[in-house]
A and B are shown apart, each in its own frame.
Chain A
């Protein structure tokens, strides 16, 4: 449901101007960071949970507007017509969705970024024309997963517009791949080992003759559906909890 170009109001854009909807912890620190990076920033805060906008004004100067960031009149007052980007980071997915849709649909803001709390909304937001959606829950889960000793495969990055991902796998002390040459591994289709790092942190480029050692970090490219097969080739059966 993309608006037609002639129906949105597109004016000259101020490439430096960013509107942040939601002045909670995420919004506040984001605004601070953007200001440090030299952006012109305005935070729109509803004050639904207390006198938050006063606090932000005190901390960041005048970069705050009290109001509902989903309301067209508030976005107008905020200067949405000249903004290059709108980032909606309230705690409610529907509010972030609507703020981005109004910004894009009514004011033609070129780039909208939404925080998502329910990872299942990612597809929907993409379909609705939100340029980038960031799943807070997934980010936290990924970080925590990285610290869990049981799971030896960590997803480092998903490559946009493909199903490829960059993963890190730590080899066990002893395992099916330890002691083998790289060329002896039966990697799943589409998987590629691109870097080896030993336990002193020294990187080495993988060659067919490279020998895998216990506790090596293996950095690889794989697909979502071959991730588990790759892990099994390198580390064997899943560790018991």
Chain B
């Protein structure tokens, strides 16, 4: 699978590293070269492109045309939303995933047809689940594992 990932922060890089290790054709795009050094593993064999993913020419250089998937995971919701829509509508990328922190905005764009993930919502749900677990059972499990 040919994947372009916009935003090489912790999440984008982790995803890039994983896809690359699995043998996919990966391109990461970020405004700052430093992000590549910080978060990509030394064995990363994909392409690294410096540029602004809101710019259609930069996306084209990053190979969005003809990519199987595009992931927008910069820190800015609006940037992600715009780049994801460019990938989907201008470059007809079949699979586009867009990270949106703001749950309300996420709901709207889901309704408008984007595949969206809100880490805020998902994170809160996981924390909620963890709170509802039985602490005694958890402790017993830990003891069993260490024994």
Contacts and interface: CB of A to CB of B under 8 A. Distances in A.
B85 A1 contact: yes
Q: Which of B77, B89, B105 has the most CB of A within 10 A?
A: B105
A60 interface: no
Interface string B76-117: 111101100110011000000000001011001101111000
B54 A120 contact: no
A225 interface: no
Contact of A71 (B56, B76, B104): B104
Contacts of A14: none
Interface residues of B, number: 23
A94 B112 contact: no
Q: Which of A1, A70, A118, A120 has the most CB of B within 10 A?
A: A1
B111 A3 contact: yes
Nearest to B55: A118
Nearest to B56: A120
A73 interface: yes
A3 B86 CA distance: 18
Nearest to A128: B85
A97 interface: yes
A53 interface: no
Nearest to B76: A94
A241 B112 CA distance: 50
Contact of A101 (B76, B79, B104, B108): B108
Given A7-B111, A72-B105, A105-B112, 15 more contacts: A1-B89, A1-B114, A70-B78, A94-B78, A95-B78, A97-B81, A97-B82, A98-B78, A98-B82, A101-B108, A102-B105, A105-B111, A120-B57, A121-B56, A124-B82
